[in-house]
């Protein structure tokens, strides 16, 4: 077999592939063997007649069509394997030359991942954030535990810091006068001073009594999680339904025993410190990995097919729409809140989508360069662990048994091992 590879662009290739007689003869034999299963010839068991007789007795158009399909597929697959081409879409194939069963030359045009040039990823250096649990961190958890177990008494006086106030509220856009998503609630309990609401909201409640009404403007923080509201000025109208004095229990050994398997407050504090340290360490590890990946990807150069970026944008948009369903907001309402058209919104995702795709491609290249693989034992152990985790979920058990999911899990393990290797280099 002969293959000529021509670059039409950084990500578009043309392969001219010519099959040799031995390969084409092998393909023809396989096709005849398949067709023989449906041929009845006197004196021979079905499927056991000589090839020459079978060829004479099958429909020639069918034989030729089946042969071309099988031969083209085999030539293409062998060519992209030999040339290490990584296609991202099905090829456009044209028959250049064909003499039945002896000569076949095809031209395949395909979009593929282009050259990836890794930078010196072993020189990336990132220090892991030092995890420290402070007394204030521990006290914050203790305060939360005490609040959960606190006794709440209705009072007729004005609300003060530390009280729980029950309110109805509606948040509206001052310009459109329309309520915004997630900005309306009824009988909402809020402890003043808990800092669980938007900064500036809770102080507005101090001094209010039951049945009081008030409206005020608040500006959401610029780094607020909901991009639709980040940095935006909104108006809140509230009605006070109740004011309750919060009487927290005493922090003593009896309380410690009530909230968990602890004999003393000291044991409770030690457990809180341990849990907080683990959470902070996990967060620090994720931040470390993300920073390492960002720097490794930045050092690399990659020719990325646009179709891969578009597919990633599709996934990002689908995920965003699912989240909107949970929040009770329509896609159009979301676009209106951003003040963007659907096309503008999509284009706004391109940079992030490109970064994600590039990081994935670079990880694959590093895995190959480092000869990182996933053994069958590693894969079986991971799947066995998942099966035990979902032992009572028949649907999940069935999903885990599918070959495509097995491949997906293997891919995840490979990614984990590659990231671990990169982090190892970065933290030496």
Tell me what the mean pLDDT of segment 388-409 comes to.
89
pLDDT in tens, 146-199: 988 999 999 999 999 999 999 999 999 877 788 877 788 999 999 998 888 889
Could you tell me which of 61, 55, 53, 66 has the C-alpha nearest to residue 27? Answer: 66
Residue that wins the pLDDT comparison between 339 and 121: 121
147: tokens are 């609040």
The pLDDT of residue 395 is above 80: yes
Give the confidence band of 3 by pLDDT, cuts at 50, 70, 90. Answer: very high
The pLDDT of residue 77 is above 90: yes
Phi, psi of 199 (to 5 degrees): -55, 130
Q: pTM (2 decimals)?
A: 0.74
Average pLDDT along the chain: 91
Q: What is the pLDDT at residue 340? A: 86
Q: Name the one residue in this structure whose structure tokens are 């290797």.
A: 421
273: tokens are 């410190």
Cβ atoms of 4 and 16 within 8 Å: the answer is yes
The pLDDT of residue 42 is above 80: no
- Nearest 5°: CA angle at 229, between 227 and 230? 65
The pLDDT of residue 372 is above 90: yes
Could you tell me which of 421, 141, 364 has the C-alpha nearest to residue 274? Answer: 141
How crowded is residue 164: how many other Cβ atoms within 10 Å of its Cβ? 20
Could you tell me which of 409, 377, 412 has the C-alpha nearest to residue 390? Answer: 409
Q: What is the pLDDT at residue 251? A: 95
pLDDT in tens, 232-252: 889 999 999 999 999 989 999
Q: What is the pLDDT at residue 47? A: 60
- Nearest 5°: CA angle at 337, between 336 and 342? 45
Tell me what the mean pLDDT of segment 111-121 comes to.
94
The pLDDT of residue 44 is above 80: no
The pLDDT of residue 201 is above 80: yes
CA gap 70, 62 in Å, rounded: 12
- Residue 247, helix vs strand vs coil: strand
How crowded is residue 219: how many other Cβ atoms within 10 Å of its Cβ? 15
pLDDT in tens, 321-352: 998 888 777 888 788 777 789 999 999 999 99
Tell me what the mean pLDDT of segment 48-56 comes to.
74
Cβ atoms of 179 and 172 within 8 Å: the answer is yes
- What is the residue-wise DSSP string for 367-405? HHHTT----HHHHHHHHHHHHHHTTT-HHHHHHHTSHHH
Q: Name the one residue in this structure whose structure tokens are 């020189």.
A: 123
Give the confidence band of 415 by pLDDT, cuts at 50, 70, 90. Answer: very high
The pLDDT of residue 50 is above 80: no
């Amino acid at each position: 077999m002969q293959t000529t590879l021509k670059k039409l662009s950084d990500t578009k290739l043309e392969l001219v592939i010519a099959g040799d007689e031995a390969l084409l003869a092998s393909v023809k034999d396989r096709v005849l063997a398949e067709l023989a299963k449906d041929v009845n010839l006197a004196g021979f068991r079905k499927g056991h007649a000589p090839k020459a007789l079978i060829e004479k007795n099958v429909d020639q158009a069918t034989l030729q069509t089946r042969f071309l399909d099988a031969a083209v597929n085999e030539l293409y697959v062998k060519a992209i394997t030999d040339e290490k081409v990584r296609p991202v879409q099905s090829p456009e194939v044209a028959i250049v030359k064909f003499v039945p069963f002896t000569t076949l030359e095809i031209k395949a045009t395909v979009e593929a991942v282009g050259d990836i040039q890794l930078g010196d990823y072993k020189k990336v250096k990132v220090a892991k954030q030092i995890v420290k649990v402070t007394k204030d961190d521990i006290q914050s958890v203790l305060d939360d535990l005490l609040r959960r177990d606190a006794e709440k008494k209705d009072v007729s006086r004005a609300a003060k810091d530390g009280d729980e106030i029950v309110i109805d509220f509606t948040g509206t856009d001052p310009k459109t006068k329309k309520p915004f998503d997630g900005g309306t609630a009824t009988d909402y309990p809020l402890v003043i001073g808990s800092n669980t609401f938007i900064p500036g909201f809770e102080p507005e409640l101090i001094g209010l009594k039951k049945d009081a009404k008030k409206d005020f403007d608040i500006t959401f923080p610029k780094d607020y999680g909901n991009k639709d509201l980040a940095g935006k000025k909104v108006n809140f109208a509230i009605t006070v339904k109740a004011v309750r004095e919060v009487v927290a229990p005493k922090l003593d050994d009896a309380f410690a025993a009530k909230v968990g398997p602890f004999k003393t407050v000291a044991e409770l504090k030690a457990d809180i410190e341990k849990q907080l340290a683990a959470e902070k360490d996990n967060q620090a590890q994720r931040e470390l990995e993300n920073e390492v990946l960002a720097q490794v990807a930045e050092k690399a150069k990659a020719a990325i097919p646009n179709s891969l970026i578009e597919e990633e944008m599709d996934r990002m948009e689908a995920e965003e729409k699912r989240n909107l369903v949970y929040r009770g907001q329509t896609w159009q309402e979301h676009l209106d809140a951003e003040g963007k058209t659907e096309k503008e919104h999509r284009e706004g995702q391109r940079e992030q989508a490109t970064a994600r795709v590039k990081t994935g491609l670079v990880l694959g290249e590093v895995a190959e360069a480092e000869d990182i693989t996933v053994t069958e034992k590693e894969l079986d152990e991971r799947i066995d662990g998942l099966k035990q985790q979902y032992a009572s979920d028949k649907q999940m058990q069935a999903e885990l048994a599918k070959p495509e999911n097995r491949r997906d899990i293997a891919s995840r393990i490979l990614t984990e091992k590659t990231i671990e290797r990169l982090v190892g280099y970065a933290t030496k």
